Amino acid sequence: MFLDDNGAPLSYQDAVTSGRSTGVPGAVAMLGLVHSKHGRLPWKSLFDAPIRAADQSFVVPQRLGRFANSTFAQATLPDARALFSRPDGTIVKAGDTLRNPAYAETLRTIAARGPRALLEGPLAEQIVARTRAEPRPGTLTLDDMAAFHPAEVPPLCRTFRVYVICVPPPPSSGVGVLEVLGLLERTDIASRGPADPQAWLLFAEASRLMYADRDRYVADPRFVAVPVEGLLDKGLSRQPRAADRRARGCGAPDAGTPPGAVMTRSGFDATDEVPGTSHFVIVDDQGDVISMTTSVESLFGSGRAVGGFFLNNQLTDFSFTAVDAAGRPVANAVAGGKRPRSSMSPAIVLRKADGAFVAAVGSPGGSAILAYNAKVLIGLLAWDLPLQNAINLPNVIARGADFYGEMPRISAGLAAQLAEKGVALKSGRGEESGLHGVAARGHPPAFEAGADPRREGVWRPQ
């Protein structure tokens, strides 16, 4: 599916803008399922605000203005140019106003026809036709669209200190967030703090071990056996190293061998995940909580649009090759009907003693989502920081042999101390997390919220 005529993997740019990259869009159908069980207002009344914004115009924020004028492949394609053009043909800038009447009409259709309006009828026909256009047309069909139904599955929950943290199960990567926390719970990180280089060394090493395991084992469990229990077994000896890394060298760690792993199907997966995701948390006055991460995968998805919206490129979250360099099958290989592995890992935290709500957090950010979410949970639950302070902590992304740090937020002294320990931080990743959350403190609980200043989140205390 993602190989060229010579059997070599396509470049990411060729794959992402192809018709093969788009999977059946499921988010609206999922929201319809949630609404049928928990909604109070009529479905058709839920779309008024975005319809009004699309019809009457909205102010282009800084980030959208920057990416609309970027050289990313998707931003340069005709569909994106048409969506973001002014009447004179130039591309909108931050501060301009932008209308999207086609999107308003799409929302009217979904409001009137219900959540399956994207999967059946004229909108589905447009989606399929757009994916089947050159270059590299896909094979998505109307039967594929109509056959899709969202799956309601139990959350994956584990303890951390005096809390219970719940995330979506595979093919989400929430298991990776739980693995990092489980590894760190066996260290003294809670007695340290964000100014301690040893705390960040422990965090980096736990992250590297987690990513090695995630990249090897996590995929759609309907197709491969994912050793969830083995990855989260706190009795295993695998743990982040507290010793000086210089004595051991800085090579990339290999994946572990957790109980339940099928080693003959555990090839190395080098899937590239590009950030094009959103996250939000809502706590209502009835005590209901939602932590939701949603994505078209890359910036502007595949760059192909119908009805005023971009089509996803979620299928490029699969491994482009079915086997690794050693000839071992890759768990996250493409298969019909299979869901690709996702880094999305929204979390809800409860108090272990009585199940009371503690926090809900999450972030966009491609594969770095796991490190972002683990960081904020360590800051909130191990270091007892206010949620906004935990969000503001510098991002450190340690995967393979690379250590990336958000250098403007890391003091020169801390960076130098980490370098002495063998962790030489590089800039270039971690600067655009979009963490967002709500936490409850005290008895009775007082709510606090946090929004990531790296994007356009603003927290205004009431």
Q: Is the pLDDT of residue 221 over 90?
A: yes
Q: Where are the domains of the chain?
A: 12-150, 156-271+318-451
What's the pTM? 0.93
The whole-number average pLDDT for the span 229-239 is 80
The whole-number average pLDDT for the span 108-136 is 97
CATH code for the structural domain at 156-271+318-451: 3.60.20.40
Instruction: Let me know: does 308 contact 316? Beta carbons within 8 Å.
Output: no
Q: What is the DSSP string of 423-445?
A: ---BSSSSTT---EEEEEETTTT
**Residue range 199-213, pLDDT digits in tens:** 999 999 999 999 999
Chain centroid, CA 341 distance in Å: 10
Instruction: Let me know: does 102 contact 62? Beta carbons within 8 Å.
Output: no
Summarize the chain as % helix, strand, coil (round to 5). Answer: 35, 15, 50
Please, which residues bridge with residue 278 across strands? Answer: 294
- 337: left (phi > 0), else alpha (psi -120 to 50), else beta? left
The Cα-based distances of 192 to 162, 196, 241, 373, 414 in angstroms read: 18, 6, 15, 19, 14
Q: b/e map of 368-378 (b: 16 or more CB within 10 Å)?
A: bbbbbbbbbbb
- The Cα–Cα gap between 424 and 197 comes to 12
The whole-number average pLDDT for the span 102-110 is 98
How would you class 356 by CB atoms within 10 Å of its CB: exposed for 0-12, middle for 13-18, buried for 19 or more?
Answer: exposed
- The Cα–Cα gap between 370 and 24 comes to 25
**Residue range 250-276, pLDDT digits in tens:** 577 778 888 777 755 556 665 655 557
Among 41-55, 174-188, 417-431, which stretch is predicted with the lowest mean pLDDT?
417-431
Q: Is the pLDDT of residue 239 over 90?
A: no
Instruction: Let me know: does 142 contact 128? Beta carbons within 8 Å.
Output: yes
Q: Which of the pair, 251 or 386, is modelled with greater confidence?
A: 386
pLDDT attached to residue 256? 80
Share of the chain above pLDDT 90, in %: 82
Residue among 418, 378, 399, 398 at smallest CA distance from 189 = 378
Q: What is the DSSP string of 6-51?
A: TSPBPPHHHHHTSGGGPPPP-HHHHHHHHHHHH--S-GGGTTHHHH
Q: Is the pLDDT of residue 90 over 50?
A: yes
**Residue range 307-356, pLDDT digits in tens:** 999 999 999 999 999 998 889 999 999 999 999 999 999 999 999 999 99
pLDDT attached to residue 269? 66
* DSSP character at residue 342: -
The Cα-based distances of 29 to 98, 114, 213, 309, 370 in angstroms read: 27, 9, 31, 16, 26
**Residue range 49-83, pLDDT digits in tens:** 999 999 999 999 999 999 999 999 999 999 999 99
Neighbours of 281 (CB within 10 A): 23
Instruction: Let me know: does 451 contact 232? Beta carbons within 8 Å.
Output: no
Residue 179: which pLDDT band, with cuts at 50, 70 and 90?
A: very high
Q: Is the pLDDT of residue 462 over 60?
A: no
- 365: left (phi > 0), else alpha (psi -120 to 50), else beta? left
pLDDT attached to residue 247? 42
Among 237-246, 378-387, 418-427, which stretch is predicted with the lowest mean pLDDT?
237-246
- The residue count of the chain comes to 462
Q: Is the pLDDT of residue 363 over 70?
A: yes
Residue 44 CB partners (closer than 8 Å, separation 6+): 111, 112
Instruction: Let me know: does 406 contact 432? Beta carbons within 8 Å.
Output: no
- 106: left (phi > 0), else alpha (psi -120 to 50), else beta? alpha
pLDDT attached to residue 257? 81
Instruction: Name the residue type at position 406.
Output: E
Provide the mean pLDDT of the chain: 92
| Long-range contacts from 376-382, C-beta under 8 angstroms, 24+ separation | 376/435, 376/437, 377/160, 377/165, 377/177, 377/181, 377/347, 377/349, 378/181, 378/184, 378/189, 378/203, 379/194, 380/349, 380/439, 381/160, 381/161, 381/163, 381/349, 382/161, 382/184, 382/189, 382/190
Q: Is the pLDDT of residue 246 over 50?
A: no
Residue among 379, 416, 381 at smallest CA distance from 394 = 379
Q: Which of the pair, 87 or 138, is modelled with greater confidence?
A: 138
Q: Which two tokens stand for residue 65?
A: 């203005």
* 349 three-class SS: strand
